[in-house]
A and B are shown apart, each in its own frame.
Chain A
Amino acid sequence: MKVQISNGIFMALIINMVYAKAIGLTQGSIAREVGGDMWISTLFSTIQGCLMMLLTVYLIRKTPSLNIIEQSEVLLGKWFGKIISLLLFFFFVGAAGAVFTTFVYHLKDYFLPEAPTFLFILAGMVIAVFALYHGIEVIGRMALIGVFSILMLNILIIIGSMSDFDIKELLPIFDAGLVPDVWASRHNNTDWAMATLMAAMILPKVKENKTWSKSGAYGILLGGAFVVLWPILESGVLSAEVAGQYIISCMQMARSAEIGLFIHRYEMIMIAFFALSSITQIIMTFYCATISVQRIFGIKKFNRTIIPVSFVLSAFGYWVVLDHHRAISYIESYWVLLAMSISVGVPIILLLLGLLFKKKLKNANAENLGT
């Protein structure tokens, strides 16, 4: 029997996929470009993400039982499917660099600066491999706990920083200008890009295909709402100048939070909540990369692909993370280019091909219904 996940779990996966990198690394990059308008850029990005998610759902709905790679095979044959798989594999390898940077820098730079980097990479890899062997259902259930963790983290940061929040720090609105604000949103676009391409891979496993659009859009919007809180607080508490100084600006927020006089220095609790979301990001990146490799080489068994793919992604993540300068310049330039071109390019190509070869898609649907 085919594994199926609920729409709620699908939403939880999207929220987790959007969150971890977006609140820290991404906000630092945006703050360096548009200062106090960082929250506006994040909002713009959420709207763009929502539209891309709707486009992804529209594409997959044409062949509800096939993922984006299988649909491309239907449209232009096996080799075209392999090219799309390769592109998606590159995307998720690139994403591994970004998510490992998020995971490692949060833990190593702030908590265990003397621990070797490979230890964190290994931890992420082992957990991801373990999760992948247990399948999407288990990962999905973990993502549900991840949403609870995100909610708790947000509540804790609000309580701990509201007393120092100065709304004037958010002014003037559109200080950097509308065009720069929209342009800066590309950093956050890479975060929802991971979510939309993940959706393109796992949508056929989501039970209620009638509510895919709603689940997908709500997932992005909720994820966006959870994320946008951070740039607002980072501007209002730290100031945009300070947020822009740091690689992981959300950690500075967390380290400055205090609940009254008695409860402070509780970032250890917050990082525990954060880690679950960050780990889910790593797991889903591995999961989607594994599916891509499976299709490239035509490997029947998913489990056989897990370990080699995990090593490739972890090795790339390790290489990126090893040098702070390399990590940040990769995330702010190369990764944006790679992520945007693939996450927007591939769906648009398939959309156009779908319009040209409507019949092929219809036949594939009929075949699948027949089976």
Chain B
Amino acid sequence: MFPKYIILFLSCLLLLSGCKTGKRELSDLALVMAVGLDKGEKEGTIKVTTQIARPADARGSTGAPSGQTGDPIWSASAEGETIFQAIRNLSTFSSRRVFWAHNLIIVINEDLAKEGISDIIDFFTRNPELRMRTWVVVTPNPANQVVSTMTGLEVVPGEALDKLFRYTPISVQAPRTQMIDLQSAYLNESTQPILARLHFVKRGVSNKKEGQAGAYNQVELAGAGIFREDKLVGTLKPVEVRGMIPFIEPIDTGVHILSCPDDKSKKMTVELKNQKFSVTPSFQNNKPSFKISYQTTGSVVEAACPFALEERDKVRALEKMIEKEKKKDFEKIVKKAQIEFKSDFLELGKVFNNKYPVEWRKIGPSWETIFPTVAVEVHTKATINDTVLLKKQTKPGSVKN
């Protein structure tokens, strides 16, 4: 009985030494909040920039500099022939071990993305410290600057960029692309990847120093980067993203700005709710085709001209305008995908395969050549049935009905 317990005790002692193996003290880690990837200065190299939180100065909601450095983040860059080597090179001057588990965003410079991002996809999906829910974006600006730029209300810029994406469904300025989406699209036989796009704008406003309004950079959502295989082949403007989002993401509410039916110089804003979007494939005469159907109900949330629901002609005119604009949005994005980029980032191939798996086996291998010639028909339907709180028109009292 006695030796049995001694053996058990010794075994536990041996096993508990596992706490020592691979153990990392929190104070020994440099917590990466964002990472930027640019082309290195030397040909064939990659530059990795990490935005590392400085815990002592990134406290609370203000980042009061209790650490006395004044900066809540520390950004460091290193180059290498591979991402892994560049990261290892960071350790030559970082006083702490770089820890990736809390990384929120990966920013890739467009020049690098044009050459291919397959190594980036591989590295960030292979490493056990990294996560699939990390945002991935492209930028025309240097990625090392984007990740070290203070943006918005957050103390840590990486956190600001993370939150930027949480509210994109409202702004509809960029797709919400995470590593899991990028990997999935990259591995899919017909779908091509897209990534959100960020760029700098002069938007910072100082309330302390006069004349500094708009003097310093802020990061802003700026459309999407379109890929073919792993190479960036083009970009979409934020206004074009509006037509693309329903193809790839569940759609929430949207905003549409229209000219007043009676006065083109004045504007009205309609909030689009209950948006229903569907892509229906068909296969006739050995040719695939698609029917896009879009339905929405709208709510007039702002009107610079007198407007009430009783004016049925105006209501119908607005509905027609929305239908026309939406149709144009979808047709434009389809044309861009087919003709300009020759890239099926709209997942049409996937949709066709879901309904016609047998036919897909025939056309799938040559989808790249078939896709630009596929016929796409768009149908839109809009109904305005709400003016929020107001029943009557908003107009001066001197004007009689």
Contacts and interface: CB of A to CB of B under 8 A. Distances in A.
Interface of A: 109-116, 119, 122-123, 126, 130, 133, 164, 168, 171-172, 174-175, 237-239, 241-242, 245, 252, 255-256, 258, 261, 264-265
Contacts of A123: 15, 18
Nearest to B356: A172
A242 B180 contact: yes
A245 B18 contact: no
B166 interface: yes
Interface string B349-375: 011011101001000000000000000
Nearest to A172: B357
A115 B188 contact: no
A218 to B, nearest CB: 35
B47 to A, nearest CB: 26
A245 B357 contact: no
A245 B128 CA distance: 14
A241 B187 contact: yes
Nearest to A267: B131
Nearest to A113: B128
Nearest to A114: B22
Interface in B4-33: 4, 8, 11-12, 14-15, 17-18, 21-22
Contacts of A113: 22, 128
Interface in B81-121: 101
Contacts of B15: 119, 122-123, 126
A255 B125 CA distance: 11
Given A238-B180, A238-B184, A245-B187, A258 B18 contact: no
B132 interface: yes
A202 B22 CA distance: 40
Interface of B: 4, 8, 11-12, 14-15, 17-18, 21-22, 101, 125, 128, 131-133, 166, 180, 183-184, 187-188, 350-351, 353-355, 357, 360
Contacts of B180: 164, 237-238, 242, 256
B30 to A, nearest CB: 18
Nearest to B354: A171
Contacts of A241: 184, 187-188
Contacts of B166: 261
Given A113-B128, A252-B132, A168 B188 contact: no
B133 A239 contact: no
Contact of A239 (B12, B17, B22, B187): B187
A111 B8 CA distance: 25
Nearest to B353: A172
A258 B354 contact: no
Contacts of B12: 126
Contacts of B132: 238, 252, 255-256
A122 B357 contact: no
7 contacts: A113-B128, A126-B8, A130-B8, A164-B180, A174-B357, A241-B187, A245-B187
Nearest to B8: A130
A245 B180 CA distance: 12
A119 B21 CA distance: 10
Nearest to A166: B250
Given A126-B11, A172-B353, 19 more contacts: A109-B128, A112-B21, A112-B22, A115-B21, A115-B22, A119-B15, A122-B14, A123-B15, A123-B18, A172-B357, A238-B180, A239-B184, A239-B187, A239-B188, A242-B180, A242-B187, A255-B131, A256-B180, A265-B101
A112 B133 CA distance: 21
Given A109-B128, A126-B15, A238-B184, A114 B133 contact: no
A168 B278 CA distance: 12
Contacts of B188: 239, 241
Contact of A172 (B11, B128, B133, B354): B354
Pick the 8 closest A-B CB pairs, nearest first.
A114-B22, A241-B187, A171-B354, A172-B357, A239-B184, A115-B21, A256-B132, A126-B11
Contact of B184 (A115, A122, A242): A242
Greatest chain B CB density within 10 A among A113, A116, A242 is at A242
Given A242-B184, A261-B166, A256 B21 contact: no
Greatest chain A CB density within 10 A among B21, B184, B353, B357 is at B184
Contacts of A122: 11, 14-15
Contacts of A237: 180
A242 B183 contact: yes
A164 B21 CA distance: 35
Given A172-B353, A172-B354, A256-B133, A110 B8 contact: no
Contact of A115 (B8, B14, B18): B18
B338 to A, nearest CB: 22
B84 to A, nearest CB: 14
A174 B183 CA distance: 24
A213 to B, nearest CB: 39
Contacts of B350: 168
Contacts of A175: 353, 357
B21 A116 contact: yes
Contacts of A168: 350-351, 354
A164 B181 CA distance: 10
A352 to B, nearest CB: 42
Contacts of B22: 112-115
B133 A258 contact: yes
Given A113-B22, A116-B21, A264 B14 contact: no
Nearest to A115: B21
Contacts of B14: 122
Nearest to B250: A166
A114 B21 contact: yes
Greatest chain A CB density within 10 A among B12, B21, B355 is at B21
Contacts of A252: 132
Nearest to B131: A255
B217 to A, nearest CB: 27
A248 B15 CA distance: 24
Contacts of A109: 128
